[in-house]
Structure 1
Amino acid sequence: MKNARPITSEMIAAFKASYDADKSARVLTAAVSHNPLSKVALDPMAAAKMDNSFSIEVKTRGITAQKKSGRCWLFASMNVMREIVAEKCNLEKFELSGNWLGFWDKFEKINFFLESVLDCADLPVADRTLDWVLNGINDGGQWDMMVSIIKKYGIVPASVMPETEQSCGTMELMRLLNTKLRKDAVELRALAAAGGDTAARKDEMLAELFKALCICFGRPVDQFDFEYTDKNGVYHVDRGLTPVSFYEKYIGLALEDYVSVIHAPTQDKPFGKTYTVKYLGNVVEGSVRHLNLPMEEVKELVIAQLKAGEPVWFGSDCSKFGNRDGGIWDPNCFIYGDVLGGMDLDMTKEERLDYRDSAMNHAMILCGVNLDADGKPNRWKIENSWGEDAGRKGYFVASDAWFDAFVYQAVVNRRFLTDAQRQALDAEPIELAPWDPMGSLA
């Protein structure tokens, strides 16, 4: 660094004197010494305004738990689809298999990783793109990645492929898988440089890793019988289903009709354009597309779908201004800056994206909204996948201010789009760099 200024003893002496003279700072020291910052900063009177009633609400059937895994995007997807099965079969509750989707997602990500390594075979070590690829795989994903898995592999009820210790807590396994994948990357790059048969060797690697996934998650079924007892106590069985035929018969959503709209108000992403992200995906024959829209248009689409009785999958930054116990997200409920001595923490959404302060990191479903006297939203009802002990028996309330600031993506049926939005969506997408914030995974 040129002309870097060090911290001096005179500076420290002045800082100490300023702290010693500030009685409120010492009171705050006592408070935060014994409590989490989020509890000290929570304004109870502001939080009390986060009412649990909504003028538009979609019925949902209970809360799921992703446990110690990063599969929120899959659980949010399943929370949309399970409602269709429960309605068709007259069930009070029903769950789809997160283990099934997690298995195939990881296997496809393994293949995607190896193919990406081969695609970068000519890049030198420490190249930024290669470095990004070598980050490896994780649990996270986006809506379009779920669609790719469902189209290829279908889905099964939770009872057909139940959770295991490894599917519920993936951290240790993911660390080991990524070590193995990076070791395979060393070999594939060397083989490619020598002109060897990388395709055959990659297939052997896939076989080895498939076996490891089966050991940890169980072997995926080929066929199964769907057995259930409905709310009237009547037993049903549907024999010889495949995962694909189960999806087609009991869910049947035309997944290609559901599209991702995002709100990324940065200079490099004009509104009304469609984007994709390089090296983002799981199934290599799939794709990820986002239509960037102003927030008001995003909200109009979301509200239209809620009014039609359909919940909405969405992606947000859940780490900001939230209270897990109270089940709220609202920047107006927290006085972090005051707690930290009058610190100014305000940034625009554009600044947070450009300077890496925020990005999508969690997916849930919107199942309600409250409209004020002018028809404008002021709070939103959210179904989470953190179990019933979190929030308000698993549900959360978000203010419209939080929605504006920290919601980045929503998935809506294209029938709600305007003609201009459809035209923009269907245009050739602009490819963003792998490290773009819109490539972040929920």
Structure 2
Amino acid sequence: MTPNQLHAFEEEFAARPANRLMQNAVTRTPVDDVALDRRVLTGIDHSVSHHLDDWKATNQKQSGRCWMFAGLNLLRVGAARKLGVKDFEFSQNHLLWWDKFERANHFLEAVIETADRDLDDRTVAHLLASPISDGGQWNMFAALVAKHGLVPKSAMPETDSSSATRAMNRALAALLRQGARDLRGQAGEGAEAQRKTKREILAVVHRVISIHLGTPPQRFLWQWEDQDKEFHRDGWLTPAEFAASYVQLPLDEYVCLVHDPRESSPVGRTLTVEYLGNVVDAPPVVYLNVRMELLKRLAMEAIVGGEPVWFGCDVQKMMRADAGVWDAALFDYAAVYDTAFTMDKAARLLHHQTSMTHAMLFTGVDVLDGSPRRWRVENSWGEEKADKGFWTMNDSWFGEHVFEIAVRRSALPPELAAALDQPPIVLPAWDPIGALAN
């Protein structure tokens, strides 16, 4: 890059009046306000033909628990109905506690398994880069519920650290990396010595989590008043008993479908990612790769049938927070920068321009002539934005930026249901399809 070349770039920029116009605009105004296509924004109708939600949106606050909130929001619909109340929340803090503890154990087991590799091995480096985080996947949510049950929010309410996890995660990451150093140093001493050290590390992890989040209840007295002011008492319950009584959906029947258009991910095959998960003894995180048309159809059919749908997406793309909308053409960045953005979804995955970053719940769909036109979404960012926390997604955005949904296995065509029993293609630990929703 020579001075002459830089001078040529400057002359080229100055020669175009449109460049100066955009410079004047963007230096004084946020670029999204300049690029916003008002025709698209004003053309978005928020009504939908099938609308399920009649409850308040939740708020994950300063934490990355969206996948957990979305899962619990799916389950609370049936629980509220059984309890006879208009609104109900399971304790998100309870599942967060167990996720932190289980994930620490999962990380330390991975460290033991890879202890004979060099520190700069790509898998080891990936593990050490993020030993503990808030993000997760559908299968990780299901694993926590299956092993540790659920409790109402009153039995384990939020704490300062459950709503703002950064300080807790910072302490846990330091402890786990320190533990990784110790476990790797014992690589020649055998598994028994390493697991003795692991137990010592987990004792400290348990203490730290309990200091930040409180202690998860082993039993609690469950009683409530329904919306008709009638009092009920169910007695002393364990988290497993509470989940068995008030979870109205068969979680073990749900499977995770993804849309991964890369050539390396065949349609109709199951995929998994090395070292992805939180509970060591749980079934692995497995996706079934399907075409986008099927992803949309199954989501639509579930909603029309009366059931919300958990999904994961790249949330920040083409999003207008103050209006609570997503549309694939919401911002005309090409006009602002006078250049074309030409990568498709597969290329964006391959070149690290996209991944699943957030999970939410579909609670409505607008259907015309048998096809979805737009979607109503329950987010977990509080009630301040959109329609008291419920957003609108145009179908164009679904195709470009939604990656996965959780649906019942029985909803799949027979050939795809059978494909779930095949051994999955194992992708490396750093593959973008294993990104965690925050």
Is residue 100 of structure 2 the alignment partner of residue 115 of structure 1?
no
Summarize deviations over 1:247-295 as a string: whole Å, max 9, x none: 1001142211011000001111100001111100000011111000011
How much has 1:187 moved relative to structure 2?
0.6
Distance 1:56 1:145 in 2: 29
Cα distance in 1, alignment partners of residues 74 and 195 from structure 2: 38
Q: In 1, Cα distance between the equivalents of 2:423 and 2:380?
A: 34
1:439 and 2:434 correspond: yes
Superposition deviation, residue 407 in structure 1:
0.5
Which residue among 3, 25, 34 is the counterpart of 1:9? Answer: 3
Deviation for aligned residue 1:24: 2.1
Which residue pairs with 1:310 in the alignment?
Answer: 307
Is the aligned partner of 1:301 residue 2:298? yes
Match of 1:403 in 2: 398
- 2:18 paired with 1:37: no
| Structure 1 ranges of 4+ moved more than 6 A | none
| Distance across 2 between alignment mates of 1:371 and 1:194 | 62
Paired residue type of 2:410 = R
CA distances 1:153-174 after superposition (whole Å, capped 9, x unpaired): 0011111111111111111221
Alignment equivalent of 1:81, drawn from 55, 75, 78: 75
Change in 2 beyond 3 A, CA 1:198/1:50: same
Q: Which segment drifts farther, 17-26 or 47-56?
A: 17-26
Gaps of 5+ in 1: 1-6
Q: Residue 49 of structure 2 aligns with which residue?
A: 55
Cα offset, 1:321, TM superposition: 0.5
- Counterpart-to-counterpart distance in 1, 2:24 and 2:85: 52
Seq. identity, %: 40
Task: Spell out, residue by residue over 1:41-95, the C-alpha distance to the aligned partner (whole angstroms, 9 max, x if none).
Answer: 1112211111111112223411000000000000000110111111111111111
Name the counterpart of 1:4: none
Distance in 2 between residues matched to 1:147 and 1:349, nearest whole Å: 28
Q: Is the 8 A contact 1:60 1:83 kept in 2?
A: no
Q: Which moved more, 1:310-319 or 1:419-428?
A: 419-428
Partner residue in 1 for 2:99: 105
CA contact 2:168–2:209 (8 Å) conserved in 1: no
The letter of the residue matching 2:319 is G
- The number of aligned residues is 434
Are the counterparts in 1 of residues 79 and 248 from structure 2 also a CA contact under 8 Å? no
Aligned to 1:3: none
CA offset at residue 40 of structure 1?
1.8
Q: Deviations over 1:85-117 (max 9, x none)?
A: 111111111111111111100100000000000
| Residue 364 of structure 1: how far off its partner (Å) | 0.2
Specify every segment of 5 or more residues in structure 2 that has no aligned partner in the other structure, as ranges. none
CA displacement, residues 403-437 of structure 1 (integer Å, 9 cap, x when unaligned): 00110000001111111110011212121111111
Whether the 8 Å contact between 1:222 and 1:243 is mirrored in structure 2 is yes
Q: Name the structure 1 match of 2:278.
A: 282
1:127-169 deviations in Å (ceiling 9; x for gaps): 0011111121100000100111001100111111111111111
Cα distance in 2 for residues equivalent to 1:437 and 1:172: 26
One-letter amino acid of the counterpart of residue 409, structure 2:
R
- Mapped partners of 2:336, 2:19: distance in 1: 8
Amino acid in structure 2 at the alignment position of 1:243: P
Whole-Å separation in 2 of the counterparts to 1:256 and 1:224? 25
In the aligned structure 1, how far is the partner of 2:248 from the partner of 2:80?
13
**Aligned pairs (5 A) from 1:103-252:** 103-135=97-129, 136-195=131-190, 197-252=193-248
